[in-house]
Structure 1
């Protein structure tokens, strides 16, 4: 039953957070071979202190890295300052509030188009969750959105290739195919931009000389892969989680319908309550300490954002969905040097989509179909449908 599946997701987040924040919220988990950190202050420490808790798994992990071929390990999210700062500045202007503001009419038009002729059961992921962020990030980067199906397939194959999942022959084959196809596609895009510059993000990267020389073709591929994958995955999941939260809380949906000014605050509470990413990895550059625990060099440390977002020391009634919660110091977009580059864009995309869904689905939202799949740090929603009037 769809309602049972929604309840399972909400229960999983609640129980995981409760278990994690018991005691000091820091413990070594043998099956993961990692220290897992749950408390808000402790997670913030891990996310902020890059000199001790590095994002560079290939350099600092004391264990073999089974997914070492994943291009995401060569991108911004796996890079430490000062190089991280240099490369982030190259594309930062494409994600400024002013630049995002200029995209909003196009995003609204895309949403209207995607919701045209919705009849009966509405496929939230297929009709909105995938195409909206793919088209948006494609426009931002200057690549063609007509490869949407390929972008989705490539993103899913690349993001799922990590840890023990690399042992699955099917996932391994899908990853290799995706990496080869995406690399070939991006090299074609680079050639087109070199021949006919357009003044977009890719042109900026092609012309950049961060170390006195141009970025290599492999660095360019890794950089653009990260932007495409993360720009699609995080916004899709935020949209899905917003639908889940509002379907499960009809009172909040009714208040939102009566006052659209509550939309931004609702999106923030969704980010806290059901974050797009359950946790993120760091690796100790030397002996480290968290909440009195001594951690050796090269250890994997999992910063559990979903637990930090429900730390009762920071959030009153943390397991209650309370749109408009103030303050709302969630860590769903990270903190410090790796604060999500596309956070402003994702917030706007979600808000525009929610307003359109409120218009299109005037009755209480009913989840008519759902399929889920478990990941190492949470539950992925693989299929989701709303019942249209």
Structure 2
């Protein structure tokens, strides 16, 4: 069953990209009432021109926003300059290459501890996918990783509450619970840091006056929610997708075993071939045009990253997974002012985990169990078990 599901995931990405890139790669989708943009140049245009294609859904969407209470919509990822620049500057120093280097020893220790004593089937999500990014982001925020089960539950409930999924009573109830619990938790942390500041991002944010005044608790909450959710979600999915790609391509796995220095290059190819997110939304601030199509103000535009990453005008033999492919122009971490703040950190975490797996699982890999659920922009892996020889 596992291998069949892996093939389904690969087939879905390949066919979605191929269909989207047909013609000029720009089309209006009646169902969601949105424009989908698939070509590499056109997706890059949408991602970089924030003055025309805004991330601020609450401000520019011409349609009602059923998930308007989602904290991510009030965060750094969903606001534009000039305030975006002020807020991003506050936390950017925590994600510099130098700052990331200081985290590498603890990331390595976490991976070793999580893989210690594991025989037989390896629960990739439970052992690495959840704890590795949660502990890393917890260290940056200055919160206790013992709340990992709550962080994971809150992340999954909040990220799944969007679009048509807001009509699902179960998802709506889970979102409301997660939103309330996350808010209560961080407000307690804020109160503690006001009394006892520490050397962490939350203390920095509490003391900051980016425009001459302190951030409100709601702004602080949105900031923390974004770092916790995106920091966890992106790294977890990138790790899972790397395992899927190497499992399905034994020649690539053998190539990495023979030359571990290729691991960073292989991760870039995973980002292109099977990106952590299939697409991202923007909203037109006024009349806009893409590839000759006139788009009205307030329209949702979906930048289909998974298709742009397979545009044959940019990538030779785009449906082939090549771990030695020269790092190209994939758009999986975005472009422009909203380029992923934690991209460097995510790459390092996954590279450390993959090197450990290459050592601990010395033979061919196979997927023993995989459960999936479809999201608006692809297939989200929820559970994955890796089988193969264990060299413990």
Q: CA deviation at 1:79?
A: 0.5
1-side partners of 2:142 and 2:242: how far apart?
A: 28
Cα pair 1:119 1:388 within 8 Å, conserved: no
Change (3 A) 1:274 1:83: same
Greater displacement, 164-173 / 296-305: 164-173
Q: CA deviation at 1:194?
A: 1.3
Q: Deviations over 1:151-173 (max 9, x none)?
A: 00000000011111111111111
Q: CA deviation at 1:47?
A: 0.2
Residue matched to 1:210: 210
Deviating beyond 4 angstroms after TM superposition, the runs of 4 or more aligned structure 1 residues are none
Residue matched to 2:340: 340
Residue matched to 1:239: 239
Cα pair 1:40 1:314 within 8 Å, conserved: yes
Listed as ranges, the gaps of 5+ residues in structure 2 are: none
Residue matched to 2:276: 276
2-side partners of 1:198 and 1:58: how far apart?
A: 33
Give the 5 Å matches for 1:350-365: 350-365=350-365
- With normalisation by structure 2, the TM-score equals 0.98
Give the 5 Å matches for 1:22-61: 22-61=22-61
Residue matched to 1:141: 141
SS of structure 2 residue aligned to 1:63: coil
Cα pair 2:269 2:327 within 8 Å, conserved: no
Residue matched to 1:380: 380
Give the 5 Å matches for 1:225-374: 225-374=225-374
2-side partners of 1:141 and 1:95: how far apart?
A: 12
SS of structure 1 residue aligned to 2:266: helix
Residue matched to 1:117: 117
Q: Deviations over 1:34-86 (max 9, x none)?
A: 00000000000000000000000000000000101111100011010111010
SS of structure 2 residue aligned to 1:340: coil
SS of structure 2 residue aligned to 1:120: coil
2-side partners of 1:20 and 1:278: how far apart?
A: 12
Listed as ranges, the gaps of 5+ residues in structure 1 are: none
2-side partners of 1:143 and 1:50: how far apart?
A: 33
Residue matched to 1:129: 129
Residue matched to 2:176: 176
Cα pair 2:262 2:324 within 8 Å, conserved: yes
Q: CA deviation at 1:247?
A: 0.1
Q: CA deviation at 1:388?
A: 4.0
Residue matched to 1:21: 21
